[in-house]
Amino acid sequence: MTDTSRELGVGQVGYAFMGAAHSQAWRTAPSFFPLPLTPRLRALCGRDVGAAQAVADRFGWESVESDWRALIARDDIDLVDICTPGNTHAEIAVAALRAGKHVLCEKPLANTVEEAELMADAAAEAATQGVYAMVGFTYRRTPALSFARRLVADGRLGTIRHVRAQYLQDWLTDPDVPLSWRLDKSLAGSGALGDIGAHVVDAAQYVTGSAITSVSGVLRTFVDSRPVAGDHSTLGGSGSADAERGPVTVDDAAAFTASFANGALGVFEATRFATGRKNAMRLEISGSDGALAFDFEEMNLLQVYDATEPAETAGFRRIVVTEPTHPYTGAWWPPGHGLGYEHGFTHQVVDLVDAIAAGEQPRPSFADGLSVQRVLAAVETSAEDDSRRHTVP
Amino acid sequence: MTDTSRELGVGQVGYAFMGAAHSQAWRTAPSFFPLPLTPRLRALCGRDVGAAQAVADRFGWESVESDWRALIARDDIDLVDICTPGNTHAEIAVAALRAGKHVLCEKPLANTVEEAELMADAAAEAATQGVYAMVGFTYRRTPALSFARRLVADGRLGTIRHVRAQYLQDWLTDPDVPLSWRLDKSLAGSGALGDIGAHVVDAAQYVTGSAITSVSGVLRTFVDSRPVAGDHSTLGGSGSADAERGPVTVDDAAAFTASFANGALGVFEATRFATGRKNAMRLEISGSDGALAFDFEEMNLLQVYDATEPAETAGFRRIVVTEPTHPYTGAWWPPGHGLGYEHGFTHQVVDLVDAIAAGEQPRPSFADGLSVQRVLAAVETSAEDDSRRHTVP
Amino acid sequence: MTDTSRELGVGQVGYAFMGAAHSQAWRTAPSFFPLPLTPRLRALCGRDVGAAQAVADRFGWESVESDWRALIARDDIDLVDICTPGNTHAEIAVAALRAGKHVLCEKPLANTVEEAELMADAAAEAATQGVYAMVGFTYRRTPALSFARRLVADGRLGTIRHVRAQYLQDWLTDPDVPLSWRLDKSLAGSGALGDIGAHVVDAAQYVTGSAITSVSGVLRTFVDSRPVAGDHSTLGGSGSADAERGPVTVDDAAAFTASFANGALGVFEATRFATGRKNAMRLEISGSDGALAFDFEEMNLLQVYDATEPAETAGFRRIVVTEPTHPYTGAWWPPGHGLGYEHGFTHQVVDLVDAIAAGEQPRPSFADGLSVQRVLAAVETSAEDDSRRHTVP
Amino acid sequence: MTDTSRELGVGQVGYAFMGAAHSQAWRTAPSFFPLPLTPRLRALCGRDVGAAQAVADRFGWESVESDWRALIARDDIDLVDICTPGNTHAEIAVAALRAGKHVLCEKPLANTVEEAELMADAAAEAATQGVYAMVGFTYRRTPALSFARRLVADGRLGTIRHVRAQYLQDWLTDPDVPLSWRLDKSLAGSGALGDIGAHVVDAAQYVTGSAITSVSGVLRTFVDSRPVAGDHSTLGGSGSADAERGPVTVDDAAAFTASFANGALGVFEATRFATGRKNAMRLEISGSDGALAFDFEEMNLLQVYDATEPAETAGFRRIVVTEPTHPYTGAWWPPGHGLGYEHGFTHQVVDLVDAIAAGEQPRPSFADGLSVQRVLAAVETSAEDDSRRHTVP
């Protein structure tokens, strides 16, 4: 049961795909987890007040704001949750932190390294005052990946040799899928690289506990113009081949090799053209004593190989990550009763609220987000430089 | 957005495992689906008022009752949701229906066919007054199984020849798992047969659209006494081998062959001793034109085989059941962003509220629940009669 | 390298599907395994001498016979390998054994229990003279299943609770597949039950090391007449819907529950109507300490669960059964370089020749084959008796 | 049945792992496939005559030679099959071709591009005289991959966007696995890159029908010294940590991105350190109209996705590639009765003999082998040049 004597006033900016996921998480977290602070859904902020109000009604937000500056100015808001496109993150986050509000910011942290650095600096400054910032790499909170990190940290894999990471989607395979903000560099910063590549970069660094130190990359845009209008959905939609077309200004796919600080060799691929793969966020890590493999399309499973077993009984174990001792899962259902995509957002709220209450820096911090940003930037630089290996600063 | 001008007052009896799942569903349904009536979480009822209050606080129930009769008597309650063990279902459900309350009753409908018949009669009577009853076979609302039914109904499988259904759990494998109400015939009615066998019987009849007409079965109790006390959890727990032991009065496992009205041959197995299987509720259906296979441990997937394809390109298709046109999934996340166990409960609320608002009988009705009960009873009768084939009345 | 000073003269009766598999095995075994006796392919016997000669040329048989009696009479034949339909097994095998020839007989041992008893008696008699008989349940020699038996025998699964066995094929799904000897009771004895059900009965008894003691079964013939002529292949073929049709006199599918001597509960299904399943010979065994699962469609893999692991790292291990210490595989290729269907026949030859040279009874013996036959007969009896449970004698 | 009036005298150089695979293939091919020329296993050549004689006895080679030059000089040899380490390929192959012998040469074609060019020139010259050369990329002859090529060639995948190829083994994970010729650059040319990377490069070019035009790569040696002596096996073995150690002079792992002539983006990885992966030769190809995925650890399966299906029934089809109309499989067993690793070698013999008899260039030709060699060389050059993208000549 939550302690109602201490509350955390939440204001959320943005109400679309990510906004719904965050709203559901804020409301659900205290129902299943004992939280030291009870989130209060104070205000939902969106430029289209009517649309925002509708979402607010659906999820129980107490009020609506049309201007994020007004939201930040409110005394009853302790935390600002930023669910807008990447080009707006820096301004809102820095303002909120300077106003003494905790911040949860969707990934990628920003569209440029420069903005990300500003944000990380602001976060470091705020932290000295007990005001904390976190970036929303929710895949970390998938129980299987959180458990994977624990196994690596416990040394179960020994020395890490290989990281193979893929994030495969296929919603752009049809050349007539219409343009959206995700295909506009000025709003999204980059394409597959920043949108989904960012997730596997973070997941790889998180699970291995080791940073990427250099990369050699390539970007590819397979379809360089698309219908300007159409029946657009969050990911995908359908347009007409006859319609007016506008330019795609981001990458459709990115691939890169990477060196990790621990000596491991990484191979990364992020694409929206992997026909038939809907959300295959995959990670396989090979170490001297074991290995693990994960695919988000089967998110409740983790494959783990123990190389210290005799060869004749060794094999990848299909672990159903729903046991009471697995991360997060004890709060939910009995073994075998799996979780879904949005549970990662609930776990994110839990970890964030716990850290704030404890006066500790939540992870992934803005510094963690900046490190991802630097990897992505190095990939872009390498891609523009004939794939030459570039060091990640 | 929900229409707040029309509300549906909900009172729920029971607050444990199933109670939490139902509570979350009542609250979540209107956030993701446009409902014609807005559920109001009026009262949660439990004999332990303190425990009930804690759950009520967590999920936003407006009040708590200690006596289900008082709950039924309240004017602000339009629907009674029964989440208690099976031995209490009949009394509560019949009383609620007679008081003009809609009823949602957890499965199995009752512990005996006689009780189930009383309930079905009461439901039929109430329906003439526009008061409806539904039984909670939530697995029907797993998108993959709902989609499976559509494929069969559309004739995609042709003539159905085979149904192979399994519900495999392993939480009793350890002989020192302590006793609980689920192992007490007076409370639970039966063991694996009624608890999980009921699910696959309903799912098989639902997906095929055909009734089981005869069965030949066997029951088995592998461990006939267990520690009376121990660290008991919803499914499983740990006890001491030295502890005082009491009798297990239900089956640990059930298996039966079945004939369907459509001529298909069914093979069913339900067990709590399938070591390593956590919640493997599986269904495979073979028809003259195709086949499908499902396993709840990978609940977002459906395997479908199209026998009208040329042999060289035919194969079971691994369909990720998260497309906008799949049942229920369009209301949630983009393709590939899977759902979890509790989403079935949300979908159950959606279908129930839609039916009530439309003045239509929701399914599965109590008559559907009774038909499952009769199958289970026939299995028990057959098991006591040397597995001789018995007709399902 | 084989010892060429000691040879084993082999005569084989039958040259179709099974005949080719056996021929390849006799020739291949000494190339990969050190055999104490070198098989010499002395004679291939078939009523159609021209066809037999063609097969003999392909596999290097030194001569051809048209009459199995002549084959048995030859002094240079030490072993008779019987690859003909089941109705001929008893006569040939008994005659061969009485003539002092070792016998390898394809499964099922015979079409009736009576014949099987005669054969087992003859084999027991011959064994006293150092003349041995073996029945060809080659699936035992799949490395994964042989390894499975070792795991069970070593106690890795603890007390066995469940056996779930399926043999799923789909070559009769099309009602216009033409008749063949496999659909004629007078030649084949039974249908799916004896042809493929026999395999899973043997495999289940072999892997568990425990005998089936009672059964309750049902048989089903879904398509009771088929084209008399057509383009017939080993399994399947295509006929015309307009063609003259003759009766199918065997079962298309069989299902039964079984009790094992060790207390385990078995569920068996054998069918030629499992749409989309080509040769899914599956076995899953659940014990108090572990479990294993096998599917011949992925014959180089064995799934093994160790219940003594902590729950959070326990999971079915996908063991690639190609390590040097796995049964048979050390003689072939490096790890991960899998074997195919016919390797089981080669391993069968190896085990048979080893046993003969050592003067030991090879397994499965005719007594083992008889025990399978008795299970099948009990299933048929039960099926004709309203599925009542019948004891296996 | 084979035509015994025309024979093809075969002489094979080398008798170890590859030698056994080739021997079995030469003997088996005419038993299952109608060949226009009947191979005669004339002579097996090895410097250790005793060892060669033992292998010759096992597989039926008629004689043994200790010097490949003597083999080439024999009139009864029409074809020389080269199964020795890569450093010897060029000399033997060129000599054999100039002597008018057809040549089958194991992959990689040679250890250097220069040697490979000499070989390709010699092969082109010989082809004008009806003398043909083929390089042994046997994975092409896996039915699933051959079928994959047909699907791509038939346009079933549309425009190819992505190739993701992996060859994952783990036999070097243990740092005490002893040195062998495969770890010696002077003998093997390169490590994982040339040994297994070569296979996926060839397979990718073969299945897509498109050449790799540029690469950006990285090589890694994780363990740079190993025991000089130990219990060495074909792949792997065990040594002592205390033993004298010598240098590993080849790569343990290679990774590279690639551009294809058809515009596709390739991501390749080859490693002997992929813990738990025994022989995971994997290929996934994404096109505008479909996709396919293959893993040699399940070599009888091909996953195929048809993007022209409605989204709700689209999914990767698990095709069991054993149908009569699939490549090669009709000659073997009924559907579902899978093949193993060595069958690819048999198919290689079939295709080679067919081409020779038809007077057509067999594929993969030495020119094809050279193209693979050039890709590998470009990867090495790139790896030494900070992973900068290099054009494949």
Chain B within 8 Å of A31 (Cβ-Cβ)?
yes
Q: Which residues touch A68 (CB under 8 Å, ≥6 apart)?
A: A13, A45, A80, A92, A95
Per the CB < 8 A criterion, the answer to whether C38 and C17 are in contact is no
Average pLDDT, stretch C338-360?
A: 97
Residues in chain B: 393
Average pLDDT, chain D: 95
Which whole-number Å values give the CA distances from C113 to A31, A34, A82, C268, C374, in the listed order? 64, 67, 76, 20, 6
Chain A within 8 Å of D139 (Cβ-Cβ)?
no
Q: Where is C7: in which H helix or E strand?
A: strand C7-13
Instruction: Please check the confidence at residue D62 and state whether its pLDDT lies above 60.
Output: yes
D325/B312 touch (CB, cutoff 8 Å), yes or no: yes
Average pLDDT, stretch C7-15?
A: 96
Instruction: Please check the confidence at residue B232 and state whether its pLDDT lies above 90.
Output: no
Name the band, by pLDDT with cuts 50, 70 and 90, for residue A345: very high
Chain C within 8 Å of A311 (Cβ-Cβ)?
yes
Looking at domain D141-339, its CATH class is alpha beta
| Rounded-to-integer distance, Cα B34 and Cα B38, Å | 9
Summarised one tens digit per residue, pLDDT across range B22-44 is 999 999 999 999 999 999 999 99
| Rounded-to-integer distance, Cα B308 and Cα B288, Å | 9
* Strand spans (E) along chain A: 7-13, 38-45, 63-65, 79-82, 102-106, 133-136, 160-168, 212-220, 225-227, 231-232, 237-238, 245-247, 253-260, 265-271, 280-287, 290-295, 301-306, 316-320, 390-391
Q: Which of C23, C235, C336 sits opposite D278 (nearest CB)?
A: C336
A257/D257 touch (CB, cutoff 8 Å), yes or no: yes
Chain A within 8 Å of D391 (Cβ-Cβ)?
no
Name the band, by pLDDT with cuts 50, 70 and 90, for residue D5: low
Q: What is the pLDDT of residue D1?
A: 40
| Amino acid at site D50 | G
| Rounded-to-integer distance, Cα D291 and Cα A170, Å | 11
Q: Which residue has the tokens 């707006």?
A: A88
Average pLDDT, chain B: 95
Domain C140-339: homologous superfamily in CATH: Dihydrodipicolinate Reductase; domain 2 (3.30.360.10)
* CATH hierarchy code of domain A142-339: 3.30.360.10
Instruction: Please check the confidence at residue A14 and state whether its pLDDT lies above 80.
Output: yes
Chain D within 8 Å of A295 (Cβ-Cβ)?
no
Mean pLDDT lowest among C280-294, C321-335, D174-188: D174-188
Summarised one tens digit per residue, pLDDT across range A40-89 is 999 999 999 999 999 999 999 999 999 999 999 999 999 999 999 889 99
Q: What is the pLDDT of residue B350?
A: 98
D24/C24 touch (CB, cutoff 8 Å), yes or no: no
Q: Which of D30, D322, D340 sits opposite C58 (nearest CB)?
A: D30
Q: What is the pLDDT of residue A4?
A: 46
Beta strand pairing call for A390-391 and A212-220: antiparallel
| Amino acid at site B253 | A
| Rounded-to-integer distance, Cα B187 and Cα C6, Å | 72
A336/B169 touch (CB, cutoff 8 Å), yes or no: yes
Q: What is the pLDDT of residue C243?
A: 82
Residue numbers in A near B2 (CB within 8 A): 57-58
Q: Which of C147, C315, C320 sits opposite A318 (nearest CB)?
A: C315
What's the DSSP call for residue A366? H
Q: What is the pLDDT of residue C63?
A: 97
Among residues C45, C53, C32, C42, which one has the least CA distance to residue C8?
C42
Residue numbers in D near A279 (CB within 8 A): none
Q: What angle do CA B183, B188, B193 make, to 5 degrees?
A: 80
Residue numbers in D near A276 (CB within 8 A): 286, 290-291, 305, 307, 314-316
Q: What is the pLDDT of residue A233?
A: 66
Instruction: Please check the confidence at residue C4 and state whether its pLDDT lies above 50.
Output: no
B336/A54 touch (CB, cutoff 8 Å), yes or no: no
Summarised one tens digit per residue, pLDDT across range A243-260 is 899 999 999 999 999 999
Beta strand pairing call for A7-13 and A38-45: parallel
Residue numbers in C near D23 (CB within 8 A): 31
Q: For an interface test with B, give the residue of D149, D317, D325 to mutate (most B CBs within 10 A).
A: D317
Q: Which of C173, C277, C291 sits opposite B275 (nearest CB)?
A: C291
Helix (H, G, I), strand (E, B) or coil at C340: coil
Write out A110-167 in H/E/C secondary structure: CCCHHHHHHHHHHHHHHHCCCCCEEEECHHHHCHHHHHHHHHHHCCCCCCEEEEEEEE
| Rounded-to-integer distance, Cα C245 and Cα C157, Å | 50
Residue numbers in B near C219 (CB within 8 A): none
C326/A312 touch (CB, cutoff 8 Å), yes or no: yes
Please provide the distance, in angstroms rounded to a whole number, between the alpha carbons at the two ends of chain B. 45
Average pLDDT, chain A: 95
Beta strand pairing call for D79-82 and C225-227: unpaired
Which whole-number Å values give the CA distances from C13 to C119, C235, D31, in the listed order? 17, 20, 18
What's the DSSP call for residue C195? I
Summarised one tens digit per residue, pLDDT across range D351-391 is 999 999 999 999 999 999 999 999 999 999 999 999 999 99
A338/B58 touch (CB, cutoff 8 Å), yes or no: no
| Rounded-to-integer distance, Cα A331 and Cα C1, Å | 63
Q: What is the pLDDT of residue D383?
A: 98
Nearest CA in chain D to A163: D274
Helix (H, G, I), strand (E, B) or coil at C193: helix
Among residues B84, B88, B93, which one has the least CA distance to residue B122?
B93
| Rounded-to-integer distance, Cα C76 and Cα B353, Å | 83
Which whole-number Å values give the CA distances from B51 to A28, A29, B16, B19, B178, in the listed order? 19, 19, 9, 12, 22
C1/D57 touch (CB, cutoff 8 Å), yes or no: yes
Nearest CA in chain B to D324: B312
Chain B within 8 Å of D314 (Cβ-Cβ)?
yes
Residue A286 to chain C, least CA–CA distance (Å): 16
Higher pLDDT, B236 or D161: D161
Helix (H, G, I), strand (E, B) or coil at C54: helix
Residue numbers in D near B316 (CB within 8 A): 317-318
Per the CB < 8 A criterion, the answer to whether C249 and C148 are in contact is no
Give helix then strand counts, H and E, for chain D. 11, 19
* Strand spans (E) along chain B: 7-13, 38-45, 63-65, 79-82, 102-106, 133-136, 160-168, 212-220, 225-227, 231-232, 237-238, 245-247, 253-260, 265-271, 280-287, 290-295, 301-306, 316-320, 390-391
Q: Which of A1, A235, A236 sits opposite B54 (nearest CB)?
A: A1
Query: What is the residue extent of each domain of chain B?
Result: 7-136, 142-339
Chain B within 8 Å of D334 (Cβ-Cβ)?
no
Mean pLDDT lowest among A213-222, B100-109, B226-235, D275-284: B226-235
Asked, as a colleague might, if the bond just before B39 is cis with ω within 30 of 0, I would say: no
Q: What is the pLDDT of residue A229?
A: 74
Looking at domain C7-136, its CATH class is alpha beta
| Rounded-to-integer distance, Cα D329 and Cα D323, Å | 6
Which ipTM was obtained for this model?
Answer: 0.96
Summarised one tens digit per residue, pLDDT across range A80-109 is 999 998 899 999 999 999 999 999 999 989
Chain D within 8 Å of A173 (Cβ-Cβ)?
yes
Per the CB < 8 A criterion, the answer to whether A182 and A359 are in contact is no
| Rounded-to-integer distance, Cα A346 and Cα A24, Å | 8
Chain A within 8 Å of B180 (Cβ-Cβ)?
no
Chain C, window 274-293: residues with a beta carbon less than 8 angstroms from a chain B beta carbon? 274-277, 284, 286-291
Per the CB < 8 A criterion, the answer to whether A143 and A326 are in contact is yes
C312/A319 touch (CB, cutoff 8 Å), yes or no: yes
Chain A within 8 Å of B2 (Cβ-Cβ)?
yes
Average pLDDT, stretch C358-380?
A: 97
Q: Where is A235: in which H helix or E strand?
A: none
Summarised one tens digit per residue, pLDDT across range A305-339 is 999 999 999 999 999 999 999 999 999 999 999 99
Q: Which residues touch B392 (CB under 8 Å, ≥6 apart)?
A: B211, B212, B213, B214, B215, B371, B374, B375, B378
| Rounded-to-integer distance, Cα A13 and Cα C192, Å | 64
Which whole-number Å values give the CA distances from D133 to B116, C252, D70, D71, D90, in the listed order? 78, 51, 20, 17, 12
Name the band, by pLDDT with cuts 50, 70 and 90, for residue D4: very low
- Burial status of residue C128 (CB atoms within 10 A of its CB: 0-12, 13-18, 19 or more): exposed
Q: Which of B151, B304, B325 sits opposite D315 (nearest CB)?
A: B304
Residue B311 to chain D, least CA–CA distance (Å): 7
Nearest CA in chain B to D326: B312
B17/A334 touch (CB, cutoff 8 Å), yes or no: yes
| Rounded-to-integer distance, Cα C365 and Cα C352, Å | 10
Per the CB < 8 A criterion, the answer to whether D80 and D65 are in contact is no
Q: What is the pLDDT of residue D142?
A: 97
Summarised one tens digit per residue, pLDDT across range C152-206 is 999 999 999 999 999 999 999 999 999 988 999 998 889 999 999 999 999 999 9
Chain A within 8 Å of B331 (Cβ-Cβ)?
no
Task: Give percent above pLDDT 90 in chain A.
Answer: 91
